[in-house]
Structure 1
Amino acid sequence: MNEIYECANCGCTIENEEDLYEVEDQIICEDCFNDETFTCSHCGDRFFYRNSVSDDNTAICQNCYDNYYRRCERCGCIIHDDNVYWDGDYPYCSDCYDEEEQCRHIHDYGYKPVPIFYRCSDEGENVRCYGVELEIDRGGKDDDNADTLESISNREEEILYIKSDGSLDEGMELVSHPCSLYFHKYDFPWEEIMKRAVRLGYRSHNTSTCGLHVHIGRCSLGNTYERQEDVISRILFFFESHWNELFRFSRRSEESAEHWAARHGYEDRPKEILEKAKKSSKGRYACVNITNISTVEIRLFRGTLKWNTFMASLELVDAICENAIRHSDEELHKQSWADFVMDLSPEYTELITYLKEKRLYVNEPVETEEED
């Protein structure tokens, strides 16, 4: 006589052994097997639907979900850990991450759009451009605040974008597309952006976290690789030869400079400093960072929300580049700080004023305003 079984799910009688199925250590009938259970798409075992984690396309067991999957924060679909796109602590599928990226105003630190070059209408294509990274802190990593600042900068075109930065406590990084010095000075609404940032509670100079970084396109330093290397070596030599003056200009503390913008160390020949920098273990945390493929990054300056100081820093970078392009190694060896300062173009109005403020100019000092 055949043994009679009872379905553990619906309670029906199963008279034939070939009509029974075992799922999660329970005997069930064929109808319940077909209608109430599924095969986990990850481990391949059979489970009751009531113990599943599923979306429109995927059903997996709870154990596999806990160990290998997440739900998209936006659409709720199930994503394998290998395919998750993270925004902070929030997981997204590829499609939702792309949509979020387009909608939000604070991008991930690794966000790098295709650069758009901006020059004044009367400037030629060969005019050197600078990309600026200005860190601001204390006002919050707030998307609404970022939207407010972007609404000032990007009224007509996108000239600024904003990123998160793990080195900041409660802030963000304002990043410009590459712009000529004159565009930064006359067309870019930096002053309005800075004033609004201060009103929103942000600070830059008055923090221990913020820097002002300026990127110089390598291709703007020479039309051949060898020429670019020559100019970069002379920029490095200038920084090492006049470190005391540049450090005073930067407003950084010794501890901050050593941590975020360290010296490479003086050598008697520019090319020797360049080779030293290439072998350095400092990585990008050097006063002149040469680890980027397309740019040289000047990292020495402390952050600021004072337009005059900001613009003086950009004008100094431009003056150093011009100095390195126009002079030979031998001429730079003989050049004193006073020689450099006295040779500055009168068009560097903010730089000359700031040098006087810091008593780094051969002239009378002027009154200064407090930094933010």
Structure 2
Amino acid sequence: MNSADTESGRSNANRGLAPLTCACGRCGQLFAYEDRLMLAELAVCDACSDAFSLCVDCNAWTLLTELDDENSCNACRQAALPIQAYAYKPEPVFFGTGSKLFLGLELELNLEERSCDLPTLAGACLQILPYCYAKRDRSIRYGFELVSHPATLNYHRAAWSQALPAWNRIRQTHRFCCAGQTGIHVHLSKAFFSASELAKLVYFCNQPTNRDFLAAIGQRPLGHWSRSEAGGIKQALSGEYDRYRVLNCNPAATVELRLFNGSERWEDILKNLEFADAIGHWIKQPDCRPGCDYRHFLAWLLGNPQPSGGYACLSDFVRQHLDSL
């Protein structure tokens, strides 16, 4: 309230006139002008102020009825298209043949500069990777999550190989800062595994002797977002544990590997997809028994021509980092 408003109110009071009032822009009730609150370009009374909240995206006061579950206003939701809300879960479309193991990629993309037009960037990504969709994620400072529909490893390879020239141009144009600030998650179709195979996978991801190996493969320390802790297999498989584990078993149709450091480099993305596919197939091997650790996995991966050739990017990474493993 400016000084003119104050003086006007005082002069009316001194003259015995009624103090200045205004009508609430929401309920219409009259109230003292000096008590007005300007919200969403409306002068509202104190009682009606509870009907407004700040939009999380534009920081403007907005009626609660115009905010979605993530406190984003209608205008920001429209401007953010094609970036969907965090809760967006379309009906899965399965891509690829030749394997019963389908992988879902979640790639968290964080940008260094806020000058980037996120909807335009997301649209460019979806144009070259049409089997993906984009969604918001509050853990990402400024960016979005690029999520694929479930696909076989070979389909992921083919789709990204075709998109790679355009993807690299996007990387050159926009300054991503993913490593250390975001993660890559890979979902594996739960139907691919028997109950005993899932139990072996849970045990492998929580076995203390495997933790340094998992951190090396994921290229980041295991921590709050991807814990590896000895615990009951039944609890993990029944969803009684929180999702912040190396292996999250809570989703109904998938298990989720959460150990990977964020990256926009295709070499890192492919290595992570290959590891998910490889560990899924190794767990099903007859000689993979409960208690097998990472050395048994590496012997299978590197000691046989078929796995080694089928997972060339992962195999090269392991050979380069054998000293740390």
TM-score, normalization by structure 1 = 0.63
1:85 aligns with 2:77: no
| Alignment size in residue pairs | 288
Which residue of 1 is the match for residue 196 of structure 2? 230
Which of 234, 244, 258 lines up with 2:223 in the alignment?
258
Alpha-carbon contact 1:312-1:351 (below 8 Å) kept: yes
1:351 aligns with 2:317: no
- SS of corresponding position for 1:173: strand
Q: State the 1:141 CA deviation.
A: 6.1
The whole-number CA distance in structure 1 between the counterparts of 2:313 and 2:150 is 20
The whole-number CA distance in structure 1 between the counterparts of 2:145 and 2:185 is 10
1:30-85 residue CA offsets vs partner (Å, 9 max, x unmatched): xxxxxxxx9x997xx9769xxxxxxxxxxx97455323357999xxxxx963x443
1:86-139 residue CA offsets vs partner (Å, 9 max, x unmatched): 3865433xxx788x28x61322222222222211xxx25x63221111112233
1:184 aligns with 2:152: no
1:193 aligns with 2:167: yes
1:309 aligns with 2:268: yes
Which residue of 2 is the match for residue 369 of structure 1? none
Which of 271, 277, 284 lines up with 1:318 in the alignment?
277
Which residue of 2 is the match for residue 6 of structure 1? none
The whole-number CA distance in structure 2 between the counterparts of 1:165 and 1:85 is 17
Alpha-carbon contact 1:195-1:305 (below 8 Å) kept: no
The whole-number CA distance in structure 1 between the counterparts of 2:321 and 2:119 is 33
Q: Name the larger-Rg structure.
A: 1
Which of 288, 292, 306 lines up with 1:333 in the alignment?
292
1:238-257 residue CA offsets vs partner (Å, 9 max, x unmatched): 3325332222121103xxx2
Which of 32, 49, 68 lines up with 1:66 in the alignment?
49
Runs (5+) with no aligned partner, structure 1: 1-24, 26-37, 49-59, 74-78, 266-271, 363-372
The whole-number CA distance in structure 2 between the counterparts of 1:236 and 1:360 is 26
Alpha-carbon contact 2:26-2:48 (below 8 Å) kept: no
The whole-number CA distance in structure 2 between the counterparts of 1:217 and 1:300 is 17
- SS of corresponding position for 1:339: helix
The equivalences for 1:239-318 within 5 A come to: 239=205, 240=207, 242-253=210-221, 257-265=222-230, 273-278=232-237, 283-318=242-277
Q: RMSD over aligned Cα, in angstroms?
A: 4.1
Alpha-carbon contact 1:262-1:282 (below 8 Å) kept: no
The equivalences for 1:142-221 within 5 A come to: 144-155=117-128, 158-188=130-160, 189=162, 191=164, 192-193=166-167, 195-205=169-179, 208-219=180-191, 221=192
| 2:219 partner amino acid | R
User: Is the alpha carbon distance of 1:175 and 1:139 closer, same or farther for their aligned partners in structure 2, counting shifts above 3 Å?
Assistant: farther
Deviates more, 1:241-250 or 1:288-297: 241-250
The whole-number CA distance in structure 1 between the counterparts of 2:50 and 2:266 is 51
Runs (5+) with no aligned partner, structure 2: 1-17, 32-42, 57-61
| 1:352 partner amino acid | S
